[in-house]
Structure 1
Amino acid sequence: MILLTTPTGDIGARVLDRLLNTGAPVRVIVRDPSRLPPDVRSRVDLVRGSHSDAATIGAALDGVDRVFWLPPGDPTAADAHAAYVTFSKPFAEALPASDVTHVVGISAVGRGWAKPAGLASASVVMDDLIAATGVAYGALACASLMDNLMRQIEVIRDGAFYAPTPGDLPLPHVAKADVAAVAARLLLSPDWTGFEDIPLHGPQEVSFDEIASILSDILGHPVAFREMSMDAFSAMLRSIGTSEGMIRDYTLMMTEKNEGMDTPHPGTSRDDTPTSFRTWAERELRPAILNHTRHLAPNDEELS
């Protein structure tokens, strides 16, 4: 049986859909089962609670041999270490006595980066914590997620979007759909061993100025990119209730991304993440804007 965390999150729900479509037996941990569609609830084994709780994890791991692991990245946590490492400790402590052989986790690019990188650095520590239990562990180290632009759907509709990044800086961006596809494949074919940090960068680098041009083209009206300062970025996070420790760690991560942390190493394969920004925007962002839907990205998978 496969245990899946964050089944109502954007990545988790995509992984769950892929698993269920194969007929694989799946158990999910969820705080509020009503957030799952009725047809999904009837096809999974439900454990109610938080996957940071030792008792909940202990019950959920019974009879499980594979796990999809994703902490919620709570913006009100004391800091990134608390949000990812401390959150994951009960899970790591329960693994040695369980039947789990394989874990696939969502992480961030940043292993080997020389400077502190906030959320990205915490994700690497979390990965090491899980890998040290002896399970086969695949850490899907994601570059920035294209889908994070869904948070700005209303301002994009009005003709602009914002980030604390120079507009002409090429950066890798990966689609959540591609991340979920890789996660599901690894869970369904557990013929791999050991610990692997698996970078997921998307098919190519693209700057925010280029993204603005693509959005203008596919939406049929001008969309401009506006660079914001790190101070303005911090103030925005503070205005939505983010803790000071998490604000520090978000800004550290964004600073290091601007310094090249996400740049793929020579020879890095990008075959598993074929979705270009244009394709993603045409498939997901444009329909959401045309349907006048407000999409706030779930707070359970936003390492990047």
Structure 2
Amino acid sequence: MTKLALTGGTGHLGGLVAQTLESEKLNVRYLARRPEAVSRAKGVSVYKASYEHSPEVVEALAGVDVLFMVSASESATRLQEHQAFIDSAKEAGVGHIIYTSFYNANPNSTFTLSPTHAATEKYIKDRGFTYTFLRDNFYTDFFAELCQEYGEIKGPAGNGRVSLVVRADVAEVVAQILKDPEKWANRTLDMTGPEDLTLAEIAQIASEILGKEIAYVEETVEEAYTSRQAWPAEEWEYDAWVSTYTAIAKGEQAGVSDDIESVLGRKATSLETYLKNLI
């Protein structure tokens, strides 16, 4: 039986994958920086491992055939952490990495965190792994939280469109791929929702379903930086937050894929359906 390892079990996406796999009889282990925080394990082995190249991580990955690698927490050293962890996987003899990347990832992407994903994809290929890249667009969950918590979506996105994807859909795709990894070997799959929407349209749909007025507030780039300085952060974080919207404005987050349907046999979840399930 194929031996699987999952990272990110204490996070949003990895936690959903772990939940989805609970009823499956797979040969799986979890890797976590804090094993005691992996509450969903239910008898599954949990190994202590960070995103680094170290004997501890190599040992945690020993015997693993397929590794599901959630991208590391956003940081200025994210790429270096990814590369070190991939080096550990190579030394341990892992053959196939399933990696959560980003929609339209390339070195020249407007969204400032996207080039790290492109570089990670390249590193996985250059190190000779079989790969499956899941390129997630921005999450529906995030924009729904903005609507619920602040009653508005604010940013310099203009009339650009984005094909938001529901995080749980991506988790279900991951779980399905882990059941038969070879079927999806050396594939890049775009994780999008079933529709391209402007932020004004997102706000309008949210208003109708949540039963309260949700506005889209158009900002200039300068205004966006100023408004986000209400939260203490490093400069690279402000850049990431603002470029979420400028990437949409430039059309880089538009485009609907049927890759979720090709894996799951059903259409991706729409914004309307997601919001209705919240109430």
Question: What is the match of residue 18 of structure 1?
Answer: 20
| 1:115–1:11 CA distance, 2 compared to 1 (3 A) | closer
Q: Deviations over 1:7-26 (max 9, x none)?
A: 11111111112222212132
- In structure 2, C-alpha distance between the alignment counterparts of 1:105 and 1:204, rounded to whole Å: 24
Please give the root-mean-square deviation of Cα atoms over the aligned residues, in Å.
Answer: 2.6
Asked if the contact 1:212/1:224 (under 8 Å) is kept, the reply is: yes
Given the alignment, which residue of 145, 156, 159 partners 1:164? Answer: 156
Decide which of 173, 178, 181 is 2:164's aligned counterpart: 173
Partner of 1:296: none
Is the alpha carbon distance of 1:137 and 1:9 closer, same or farther for their aligned partners in structure 2, counting shifts above 3 Å? same
Larger CA deviation: 174-183 vs 192-201: 192-201
Q: Secondary structure at the match of 1:173?
A: coil
Q: Matches of residues 140-159 of structure 1 in structure 2 within 5 Å?
A: 140-152=134-146, 155-156=149-150, 159=151
| 1:271 equivalent in structure 2 | 261
In structure 2, do the counterparts of structure 1 residues 116 and 160 end up closer, same or farther at CA, with 3 Å as the change threshold?
Answer: closer
In the TM superposition, 1:69-108 aligns within 5 A as 69-74=69-74, 77-78=75-76, 82-83=77-78, 85-108=79-102
SS at match of 1:96: helix
Rate the CA distance shift 1:152–1:197 in 2: closer, same or farther, 3 A.
same
Corresponding letter in the other structure for 1:233: A
1:67, distance to aligned residue in structure 2 (A): 0.9
Q: Distance in 2 between matches of 1:277 and 1:249?
A: 23
8 Å Cα contact 2:61-2:92 kept in structure 1: yes
SS of residue paired to 2:22: helix
For residues 101-120 of structure 1, what are the structure 2 equivalents within 5 Å? 101-111=95-105, 117-120=111-114
What TM-score results when the alignment is normalised by the length of structure 2?
0.85
Q: 2:154 is matched by which residue type in structure 1?
A: Y
Q: Distance in 2 between matches of 1:206 and 1:212?
A: 10
Q: Using a 3 Å threshold, how does the CA distance of structure 1 residues 136 and 184 change in structure 2: closer, same or farther?
A: same
- Structure 1 distance, partners of 2:71, 2:56, is 14
* 1:54 equivalent in structure 2: 54
String of CA shifts for 1:9-68, please: whole Å, max 9, x gaps. Answer: 11111111222221213222223334333xx23322112242335334212201211111
- For residue 182 of structure 2, give the secondary structure of its aligned residue in structure 1: coil
Matched, 1:210 2:201: yes
Cα deviation for residue 133 of structure 1 reads: 1.9
* Stretches of structure 1 lacking an aligned partner (at least 5 in a row): 288-304
- Partner of 2:176, secondary structure, is helix
Partner amino acid, structure 1, of 2:155: A
* C-alpha spacing 1:187/1:269, structure 2 compared with 1 (3 Å): closer
Partner of 1:299: none
Using the alignment, how far apart are the partners of 1:235 and 1:49 within structure 2? 38
Q: Give the unaligned 5+ runs of structure 2.
A: none
Per-residue CA shift, 1:156-186, capped at 9, x if unaligned?
A: 4xx33323322x4332111111111111122
Q: How does 1:190-229 map to 2 (within 5 A)?
A: 190-192=181-183, 195-229=186-220
1:134 is the counterpart of 2:128: yes
Cα deviation 1:259-301 (Å, max 9, x = unaligned): 1112338x86562551000111122xx34xxxxxxxxxxxxxx
The equivalent residue for 1:259 is 250
Matched residues in 2 for 1:106 and 1:155: separation? 27
1:21-40 residue pairs with structure 2 within 5 A? 21-37=23-39, 40=40
Is the partner of 1:123 in helix, strand or coil? helix
**Paired positions, count:** 273
- Which residue identity does 2:123 align to in structure 1? L
CA spacing shift, 1:59–1:145, aligned 2, 3 Å? same
> Offset at 1:122?
1.4
Following superposition, the deviation at residue 218 of structure 1 comes to: 1.6
Contact 2:169–2:260 at 8 Å: present in 1 too?
no
Residue 235 of structure 2 aligns with which residue? 244
